[in-house]
Structure 1
């Protein structure tokens, strides 16, 4: 047998020339940690007007720089003519075709670039101080609108005397007085706001159209005659007291006059004008101060009149939408039962579901989320999800099956055996509600054997997992573990009521839903009940530390960027004005009992489970001070614990591929340390 294997290995280069499929089936091995550098995914599809060409962003992992890199590629709608458009040394994003399809604007390394389709030449056309976003072409193709952070000069209020000439004093103190002074992923912010600009499409000096102490971002849409822009913003002096209360505005370019077109209490955002120029579609909801509120789809006339809600009684969150070319309806995207769904909503009539396999852009863990765009003849191009690889592009025609047009991860799938994923439903012991989840099996799974189990818990908590590729979970399964991931109460995509079962009550019975999932899997007969492990990130870190304060059934736990003290969290997190109003009934000092009742730190005295803590040092969403509190509490109690601090990492730990690799590697190291060892 050994001789046969060696002979086959020597023959591989020759055999691969003739039968790639059979070779792949023979030599596939489980995923390795550094396979994170093999991952690629498609995003931001941008169809060229009146053409079969589709430009998209192809993201890959640069092993040398340990960075995600993105490049623009082009492909025909039938899957042919796949070609790169931009160079590897450009980090290209945000492709946007001109109305005539003769030029492609995009952003690369913080500047606007232009590619001329006729010549294939491209070049930088801007010289901006900060990176632009939301590129939008004027209808005549003469102008580009975009939003950009605009700094404000704010001299320090104190000038220190006595510094001798040439002296080297300490760096001057930094004076802060803005409410939003830091953001996860960006760190401490300079003074200033995001404003809207226009710039000639051939390049030139940007013209600032908005001003004031407000942030203007998100979707920018042009009036059909090019005289005005439509955008969304929260232009209230007390916006910190009403953090979600945005409106749709019309900005007349010549006069700079800004007029609010909506006026309800709640967010109104993402305005898109119809192709015929008669309607504006937008998303929003009436704010009831609930932790999870689904965005609905609305249309109104361009003067703000005749407001009408579409999508009927759909109890799901509209994540994105785009007008059909004939202006008689809109294509919409939302999640339903953990699956990314695309549908068509006519202006008059019922919603028509088209597909439920959109997703794949959240490749580290199996979160929902995807992107789409409208092709000619009412076809869609979208990011297609799979449990075996990150997002590929697919083209869909109504009443037809999707056609996958890329194979960006063909090399990964050919050489590695990806763990199979199986759907599971079970009843909650709390109230008999149906709870949804998925089982990920290790390569070579044998139902007659006993396996260790990892319960992996999603964050949010108002988010959802689904049947998607998840590198972190696959790497754990590759080490011989069965991995269970579920959508307990509080998860999105099962309706607002299900999501708000934990409103002002988190964690609570979502813990029971998780334990019921473990019990349901144990009942299948292939799980070793003495080798149960638990992990999760962010909200999943909350539920991990909460769970080990309620039960000792797990041999070890790994809590990734957790919150363990809601009182300190609300006063440290970057989104504190939102969290304090929507997640809790009162401010911390007004109701400390409520905060502590739901804080894992309150139950640390019950913990006997060895616990690993893993958090980025630059995490401003769930600051590392939360991890440090729990670590020190466990140390005081003499519980086996370790803390992994990731230098420079924000809440999005997987942004650097090496950190993406380190996270599951440390989790498995910790679990292996406490597994039953055969004598």
Structure 2
């Protein structure tokens, strides 16, 4: 047995030996998950971020933990605050990371030999994209750098000591607010370097563009490669980024790619000869397959390594000898890990990569590669949030059991795949059923249809607190991947190109009918909810059928015309999701807007949105609420406080979302 293998029997708890309890709302604060694994360069041990919920401050908190050769896991630093972004120095003697121990995010160093750690910066903004120079003497990072612009107007005549109102905010930038970030400050993301021993950071970029993301050093330490959109027309061409070379000594910036489309996430091979990156040729489709590329460090001899893979590459890392690249992608709702050599020959390694989205069953996972091609990755499981697993020589071993104390004595929903045929074109569609605890197939249950957002994303067999809580309340929960979803190829995703909703309604109703055919659903007890794109589809459903007893429309788009003119990324949406500007295509926008069908609605419908949501702004929710009131439909509006589009960012708001949905459904259940 390899020394990586942990004694799973010592960690696992037999569910049969413990009295089973149902999952409760307050259990959200007991959840933990693994993220950001980074293997020591020797390949002998690993560090990961152990994410937990701080019940006192209603926040998610990350702490660095190590997985030792004997399988033992233990805290690495002992520091307070939240820790993230661990990155090993090339020699493996130090670990750089970001911590809020001192009160604000700063770069810290952990020394392996002494076990000591300390902050080496006193930055005014949060650093990101930490990257060691090849000789270990410097750390590159990016940071938002304010560049205040004076107000164009200053009122005269204010008496000394007078209590006048706050001056107006003057805004003239294109993207002036961002979901999760609020109204944008004046300034830009810039690249810096700092001695690894601490000191004063040196700013390397100063132009009025945002520079950041993955930073990669050249083998000689003279250059840093990064991705940015430095075009004068960046606002009207928001995805057209390139890979740039930044000369550290002179601060000179020069592009090394040049095409219409995004080029991002440059990573230099261990031998320094090649750069791998991801991107695509922009054809202005609503969904486009992200491919893996490799080129010389001067930008020549560009080759695509995944030309025939009809799935988007979501993450990648060089192997230790520069002869191949490991990469991840989603296929049929499941995260995959594969390897390609530099000739484009692929080898599939494992699936179940993911588990980071503990609220709803979305994709996404982290992995890290070290000497000997040992791989640490986050492993997904419908019964648990992300755990840490290790891959070596074709063997996978799970090495953490972070949630056995919280969930080992809980009776969770069994999750089962369902395949069914589309009534529109006969294609096979995929979904999953979550069964309530103590499920009895001879009884009749209420059915809840839960619809994913995106719309270009996917659900899968992954842990989801919301799904589990709905099932614990006695509902059979169906979630599916209707057309437009990712992980089924570009054609399936682009069924909704300039046509959303497309036949999604039929895909969803076909799924409901397939579950009803199993014989354990009360057809008079059907409920529907979904968020973001799922909110669009929920509002669309109640405008086209009255078969559901009640609906909860979460963070929706109700009117595509007003959405494009109020959402944060409006310069993207009108070009890629629609054939043109709203006023030039009013009929196209409105015939696909749920508001156009509000006159048909009879279903009791609640609206639920974050107060600070700038992706699907509150004004969308308000339109539908007021329209339903005028129509005389039973409705309510829930405005989630301290929340943007990502409601589950605060654990209590995840609880609020579930509690209000269950309240609304229980109000109409058995009527």
TM-score normalised by L of structure 2: 0.97
Within the alignment, does 1:471 sit opposite 2:434 as a pair? no
Match of 2:4 in 1: none
Where does the alignment leave 5 or more consecutive residues of structure 1 unmatched? 1-17
Match of 1:611 in 2: 605
Q: Distance in 1 between matches of 2:52 and 2:438?
A: 29
Q: Distance in 2 between matches of 1:591 and 1:576?
A: 15
Match of 1:104 among 95, 105, 114: 95
- Cα shift readout 1:274-301 (whole Å, capped 9, x = no counterpart): 0111100011100000000011011100
Match of 2:479 among 485, 500, 513: 485
Within the alignment, does 1:270 sit opposite 2:265 as a pair? yes
Q: Are the structure 2 counterparts of residues 305 and 637 from structure 1 closer, same or farther at C-alpha, using a change threshold of 3 Å?
A: same
Within the alignment, does 1:91 sit opposite 2:82 as a pair? yes
Name which of structure 1's ranges 311-320 and 132-141 shifts more when overlaid on structure 2: 311-320
Q: Is the 8 A contact 2:12 2:404 kept in 1?
A: no
Match of 1:160 among 137, 149, 155: 155
Within the alignment, does 1:338 sit opposite 2:333 as a pair? yes
How far residue 19 of structure 1 moved from its aligned partner, in angstroms, is 12
Match of 1:11 in 2: none
Name which of structure 1's ranges 605-614 and 114-123 shifts more when overlaid on structure 2: 114-123
Q: Distance in 1 between matches of 2:414 and 2:127?
A: 41
Q: Distance in 2 between matches of 1:392 and 1:661?
A: 23
Q: Distance in 1 between matches of 2:14 and 2:542?
A: 46
Aligned alpha-carbon RMSD (Å)? 1.3
How far residue 349 of structure 1 moved from its aligned partner, in angstroms, is 4.9
How far residue 54 of structure 1 moved from its aligned partner, in angstroms, is 0.7
- Cα shift readout 1:486-537 (whole Å, capped 9, x = no counterpart): 0000000000010000000001201110000000000000011000000000
Match of 2:281 among 280, 286, 290: 286
Q: Distance in 2 between matches of 1:127 and 1:379?
A: 35
Match of 1:54 in 2: 46
Q: Distance in 2 between matches of 1:559 and 1:658?
A: 19
Match of 1:9 in 2: none
TM-score normalised by L of structure 1: 0.96
3-state SS in 1 of match to 2:469 = helix
The list of structure 1 runs, each at least 4 consecutive aligned residues, that deviate by more than 6 angstroms after superposition, is none
How far residue 118 of structure 1 moved from its aligned partner, in angstroms, is 1.0
Match of 1:8 in 2: none
- 1:396-407 superposed matches below 5 A: 396-400=391-395, 402-407=396-401
Q: Are the structure 2 counterparts of residues 569 and 77 from structure 1 closer, same or farther at C-alpha, using a change threshold of 3 Å?
A: farther
- 1:129-528 superposed matches below 5 A: 129-400=124-395, 402-528=396-522
Match of 2:579 in 1: 585
Q: Distance in 2 between matches of 1:380 and 1:20?
A: 23
3-state SS in 2 of match to 1:417 = coil
Q: Is the 8 A contact 2:77 2:116 kept in 1?
A: no
Q: Is the 8 A contact 1:86 1:92 kept in 2?
A: no
Q: Are the structure 2 counterparts of residues 207 and 454 from structure 1 closer, same or farther at C-alpha, using a change threshold of 3 Å?
A: same
Match of 2:561 in 1: 567
Match of 2:6 in 1: none
Q: Distance in 2 between matches of 1:382 and 1:647?
A: 34
Q: Distance in 2 between matches of 1:159 and 1:227?
A: 46
3-state SS in 2 of match to 1:601 = helix
Q: Is the 8 A contact 2:39 2:375 kept in 1?
A: no
Match of 1:537 among 521, 531, 535: 531
Q: Are the structure 2 counterparts of residues 153 and 349 from structure 1 closer, same or farther at C-alpha, using a change threshold of 3 Å?
A: closer
How far residue 240 of structure 1 moved from its aligned partner, in angstroms, is 1.0
Q: Are the structure 2 counterparts of residues 21 and 381 from structure 1 closer, same or farther at C-alpha, using a change threshold of 3 Å?
A: closer
Q: Distance in 2 between matches of 1:439 and 1:187?
A: 37
Within the alignment, does 1:64 sit opposite 2:56 as a pair? yes
